Structure 1
Amino acid sequence: MLESWKDKYIVFFDGECGVCNFWVQWVLERDHHNRFMFASLQSDFGQKFLSERGLETKVFNTLYLWKPDQYYLIKSRAVLQIANILGGVYKLSAAAKIVPRFLSDMAYDLVSRNRMKIANQKCYLPDREQKKKFIEV
């Protein structure tokens, strides 16, 4: 199982955030080409990813997209790349890359700061097939 994640895009998210869990569910439902796997930032796998890069390991207000052995993106650039990878109509989001990163990250940070107010704190439970896309180690 652990070897299967190395050729995927890994989405790291706050496992305790309703908005983040909604976003994960949204991507899962649209990942028709099985390109993504997911790990919470609180998991051992997530903590290892963060600590190996000298990133914050206690505050989980940033979404990360990692392509192993290649790159990782954060915040708005991660969101835009995820949409681009999903393809189809979501590729149109690439046009948002003309917005300077500091502005798109300001919008991302605004949502991030208010995410607990925005979120309906219902717990998301993936189905059996979706559960295979989560890295828990």
Structure 2
Amino acid sequence: MKQKQRIILFDGVCNLCNSAVDLILKKAQDNDFKFVALQSEEGQGILKKFDLQLQIDSVLLIQNNKLFSESDAVLEICKHLKAPWSWLTAFKLIPKSWRDNLYRFVANKRYKWFGKRSSCRSF
């Protein structure tokens, strides 16, 4: 069996994040994503391996031992989705600071707008 090449770390209790995971599962061009909840033991181990804060509040993508976070992670994930989702990579033309500010704004409101689960999603 082929090993998963891309690891997505996500907030396992966030409804928005879980909906994004569902979308990725449906729209990925290939099936080489591995999903790990940030809150899980495995997720915490990966954060330690990359010397990141254990309470990080961002989606993360690890691809070829390179770490992507915030808007870069989202757009890099979109690159591997079927159209029209892959077209979102055009937002790379917008300065990273603007993209990350928008990302953080939504991230800070996600529980209020979309709610949260009582338990963490696992795979």
Flag whether TM exceeds 0.5 (same fold).
yes
Q: How does 1:54-69 map to 2 (within 5 A)?
A: 54-57=51-54, 59-67=55-63, 69=64
Instruction: Indicate the residue corresponding to 2:113 in structure 1.
Output: 118
Instruction: Indicate the residue corresponding to 2:97 in structure 1.
Output: 102
Instruction: Indicate the residue corresponding to 1:11 in structure 2.
Output: 8
1:71 aligns with 2:70: no
Distance 1:84 1:49, change over 3 A: same
Kept in 1: contact 2:79–2:86 (CA 8 A): yes
Matches of 2:73 and 2:66 in 1, distance apart? Answer: 11
Aligned residues: 123
1:39 aligns with 2:24: no
Matches of 1:81 and 1:63 in 2, distance apart? Answer: 11
Kept in 2: contact 1:11–1:65 (CA 8 A): yes
Q: Give secondary structure in 1 for the equivalent of 2:30.
A: coil
Instruction: Indicate the residue corresponding to 2:86 in structure 1.
Output: 91
Kept in 1: contact 2:28–2:82 (CA 8 A): no
Identity rate, percent: 30
Distance 1:52 1:70, change over 3 A: closer
Letter in 2 for 1:21: N
Kept in 1: contact 2:3–2:32 (CA 8 A): no
Matches of 1:13 and 1:63 in 2, distance apart? Answer: 5
User: Structure 1 runs of 4+ off > 3 angstroms?
Assistant: 120-123
Instruction: Indicate the residue corresponding to 1:21 in structure 2.
Output: 18
Matches of 1:90 and 1:10 in 2, distance apart? Answer: 19
> Which has the larger helix fraction?
1
Gaps of 5+ in 1: none
Kept in 2: contact 1:65–1:73 (CA 8 A): yes
**1:41-86: CA deviations, max 9, x gaps?**
11121111111122110x242000111x431100101100111111
Instruction: Indicate the residue corresponding to 1:53 in structure 2.
Output: 50
